[in-house]
Structure 1
Amino acid sequence: MTVLEVDGLHTRFPTPRGTVDAVNEVDLRIEPGEIVGLVGESGSGKSVLAESIMGIVEEPGEIASGDIRLHGESLLDLPESKRREIRGGTISMVFQDPMNSLNPTLTVGEQIAEMVRLHQPVGESVSLPAELKRKLVGSSKNGQAWRRAIEMLESVEIPEPETRASDYPHEFSGGMRQRAMIAMALAAEPDLLIADEPTTALDVTIQAQILDELRELKDAFDTSILLITHDLAVVSEVCDRVNVMYAGEIVERADATELFSDPQHPYTQGLIASTPRLDAPMDSLEPIDGNVPDLIDIPFACHFAPRCPEATRECYEIDPNFRPVDADTDGESNDHVAACLRRGPTEERL
């Protein structure tokens, strides 16, 4: 069964100037055991989509329409108490800033152990008095949750995990804090892990290590992953399928190999052309002209039209629904689609 299904999701934020449509009619699928990439420039709506899935959209933001189903069950129909059980348990998230996501007053091991107590049957109280006692005198080193925390730190290759579990976040390097966040997110063995820019601000060596660990942990914990990033190199390295997001909308989706070998949407082509490559060095990069539009009352049908070198008058006036951009040997369309009037079957292009 499909792990996650997002259908027609619309998340908006009312402001004094108008309504920001941060996520606009987005569809997304994640199957068991796969890594799905969500890529786009800053401000394209990637993080708001993740927050919508997790149910942590901050007010005044709201999910205006659409549905989010986990294993076929609508999350939007569940009471908040049930969603809290799912959040961190069945679905976990790694945020892009581990220093601000970890509690500076608790040891790293205690924070992971707390996640274990909340979502695993270890028989350790999570009542407020019990938490206050642990904060004052520390966790029992013989407790099952603490032992599990050490195992999780070891699984993400933190050196000397028994010792480092008693350290505070500020005593960890940036790469180690990100590993600790991944360990915490996986402590409850979730079915879906959302990783929001997990390699941001890390040097390339540590980035490669984190990506390798995500792949290994996906198999070890049988977890599907939604990987959110603006870095196409990261996507090409680890993802099975890719969704390209622009101005609150998905504009292209395809198998990762096909997307990079044959990008179709002009925005995707622009992203790839503006990304440096070691295997094909260029004299200069080709930036995409212009900026992501203000998401309040965008007046044109294709949101990318003002920046698109191929745009025609129709692009500003006609909604660019998804079109198949390739076909298999039997003439049937595959899963590579783009929301562009100038793509798809020749007879349907404008």
Structure 2
Amino acid sequence: MHFLGFLFLHLLNQVSAFSNITVKESIGGLITDPWVLDDRKRIDAETVDQVTPIIIVTTTAATYDLSLACLKGNLTFSQNSITPHLLVCNFTGHTDIPLSISFDTDISEVATLLPPFWMYLSPGSVDMTLNFTICLHRMGSVYLKVWMREAKPGGREGVLFSFDPSNDTSVKQYTSWLVNGSRVYEAGGGAAMGLHLKILRSRGIMETIFRAIVAVMVCALTLVMGCELDVMLIWKHFKKPVAPIIGFICQYGLMPLIAFGVAMVVPIKSEFGFGLLTTGCCPGGGGSNIWTLLLHGDLNLSMTMTFISSITALEASEDDIKLACSYVAWAEAVISR
């Protein structure tokens, strides 16, 4: 344990170079690379409690103390943007040794810098404005990361050098200024600090029109379904509730079990898995009622089952989620032993 603790503190005090590993997301946006996961957790832990309009991330060691500050509102982007986005940040601090500072995103499939770049810092105070040109590719979550490594003296300060990991000349130019050279780059390592960028789906006038049309259609269909109901037939289904009981068992027994199994087997994020489980535990009925009406089925039975499912959801959905969460907690406790 003492050795692991020493190793962890040692790694935290190390600054690292550009990542030489290409990281991709798996099904459901799952990240499996341990370096990327550790970096993201560390960055989120530093910024999650910051409620001010400006997000500030820092990295501190015996020979330097540097910070990167950006407006929180500028870290969220809209997916429909065709032109690259400009992100302006302030880079401040102090260093006692020459440093090579490199910038890039961790998942290039979501967003990339145009281009990834690095710069040389001489010993002394640091106070500059950095302009990041970000090209968005799809919705998702990506982290703008800053890597640092001790550099050789005599570099050109204030010049931004583009970096292309597939170009040997670019890699050689970058590693030639590093203390220990290419060994540092090949060893990889975690980022010194970073910012969480979000690319969200845009909401325009077409979405507003679509929502209005859907709302009108739902109201009209609900009115039509209400006109088709027969109170006596509904009461008949309540007196012999064979079909409603089968529907209840499927809704709160079979569906949550299937959703839980899929969430445990398929490699997706835990947040997505919980959302899938919640969906499986929640009552439905809207779509089934509409299809029953359109296909001339037993609308009275469908509405009765929807009513029972919605009322019992107040207790059944909560119990299903509690049972699933209890099982996950128990399984994690067994594995950790």
Give the TM-score normalised by structure 2: 0.24
More helix by share: 2
Greater relative contact order (Cα 8 A, min sep 6): structure 1 or 2?
A: 1
Which of the two has higher C-alpha Rg? Answer: 2
